Amino acid sequence: MPIAAHPLNSFVAALELRSPMSESDRSALLDLPFSLRTLEKSSYILREADIPINCGTLVSGYAFRHKTTYSGGRQLLSILLPGDAFDLQNLYLNASDHSIQMMTRGDVALIDRRLLNDLAATRPAIQLAIFIKVLAEAAMFREWILNIGRRSAEERIAHLLCEIATRQQAKEPRLIDTFQLPISQEELADAAGITPIHVGRILKKLSTLGLVSRGRQSLEYSDLEGLGRLADFNPSYLHLRHDRMP
């Protein structure tokens, strides 16, 4: 298998995004045994209350984290883009407090979390990279709280899209002026903490403003700067500039 196509490449890249690593660490990660699996849309990678066994990476496709209330309300917590590492949040916890579910069909590579853990124990740079990735995810959860708690429905949707576009761009630093997200209105609603019907009305407005264009179960946007202005978007919480600790 050529290096370029190694399924764990994106796992390594996800860790390296905010914390550099030696060639040796990189290849130690790539040498980890993993299992590759194709998952259908809506299938679960992990369920709330499960004992987490694996970490891994979304080789292709989109997914999201969510949790639900007793009365059935669903709340998305984050969106996983193709290439994103997942389940580092459960690395040392023994019952997952949330679920991870596929948003589209896609492939995942699974790594036994004990093996990753053992590797991290002997390689400080890997330990650190995992730690920093977890901290950056926590920062995104904090911004998500602010978004839902203190912004209008329009701003929430716009902010969500800005975050996704920025993360996407950080991963593939070529110039993209448009980007498509395969998300339904119901999923957007559960991400923003509003109803799907209201999402529809807001998207109509954003669309007449020329900020997004809509397809069935997908969303495309061209005027990222306009969305950012509307949403009060400031990407510093993503901690993408890795000026490391002195």
Q: Which residues bind DNA (CB under 7 A)?
A: 152-154, 184-186, 193-198, 200-201, 203-204, 214, 216-217
Q: Which is nearer to DNA, 71 or 236 (CB)?
A: 71
Q: Which is nearer to its own copies, 107 or 232 (CB)?
A: 232
Query: What does 6 bind: DNA, its own copies, none (CB cut-off 5 to 8 Å by kind)?
Result: none
* Count, residues near its own copies per rule CB under 8 A: 58
- Does 123 bind its own copies (CB under 8 A)? Our answer is no
Q: Which is nearer to DNA, 22 or 68 (CB)?
A: 68
Reading phi first (left if > 0) and then psi (alpha if -120 to 50, else beta), residue 49 is in: left
CA distance 101 to 87: 12
What is the DSSP code string of 40-68? -TT-EEE-TTPPP-EEEEEEES-EEEEEE
Query: What does 75 bind: its own copies, DNA, none (CB cut-off 5 to 8 Å by kind)?
Result: its own copies
Q: How far is the CB of 4 from its own copies (least distance, A)?
A: 30
What single DSSP character describes residue 72?
S
Give the pairing of strands 106-112 and 35-39.
antiparallel
CA distance 172 to 59: 15
Per CB under 8 A, the segment of 102-110, 137-145, 175-183, 216-224 that binds its own copies is 137-145
Please state the φ and ψ torsions of residue 148, each to the nearest 5 degrees.
-75, -35
Q: 3-state SS of 123-154?
A: CHHHHHHHHHHHHHHHHHHHHHHHHHHHCCHH
User: Would you tell me which residues interact with its own copies (CB under 8 A)?
Assistant: 19, 49, 65, 67-71, 73-75, 77, 89-95, 97-98, 113-114, 117, 121, 124, 127-128, 131-132, 134-139, 141-146, 148-151, 190, 192-193, 232, 234, 236-237, 239, 243-246
